[in-house]
């Protein structure tokens, strides 16, 4: 079953299995629950596994880290949004 995300005037449909895969819910999946959520900007995704990002917030996120001093995102929901809908 899919859930529809509404953020910044956009609508995204995400499979329930991908949402369940987001087990590190330190921010309580803000992208799913907040209509005004602002995503980190994705500069590039490497093999749909790791996304190089430009962070748009100072709140902690369990899926945000760094690789060679570049900020990255490994969130399954965010990666699916990039895969299906682009940046």
What burial class does residue 52 get, using C-beta atoms within 10 Å of its C-beta: 0-12 exposed, 13-18 middle, 19+ buried? Answer: middle
Range of 32's domain? Answer: 2-85
Number of domains in the chain: 1
> What 8-state DSSP symbol labels residue 7?
E
CA–CA separation, 30 and 24 (whole Å): 12
How would you write the pLDDT of the chain (87 residues) with one tens digit per residue?
Answer: 666 665 555 677 888 888 888 877 655 666 666 666 677 788 888 876 788 888 776 677 888 888 898 888 888 888 888 888 876
Would you say 13 and 37 are in contact if contact means Cβ atoms under 8 Å apart?
A: no
CA–CA separation, 45 and 59 (whole Å): 22
């Amino acid at each position: 079953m899919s859930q529809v995300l509404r953020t910044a005037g956009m609508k995204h449909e995400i499979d329930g299995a991908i949402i369940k895969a987001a087990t590190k819910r330190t921010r309580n999946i803000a992208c799913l629950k907040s209509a005004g959520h602002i995503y980190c900007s994705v500069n590039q995704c490497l093999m749909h596994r790791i996304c190089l990002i430009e962070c748009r917030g100072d709140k902690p996120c369990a899926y945000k880290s760094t690789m060679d001093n570049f900020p990255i995102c490994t969130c399954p929901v965010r990666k699916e949004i990039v895969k299906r809908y682009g940046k």
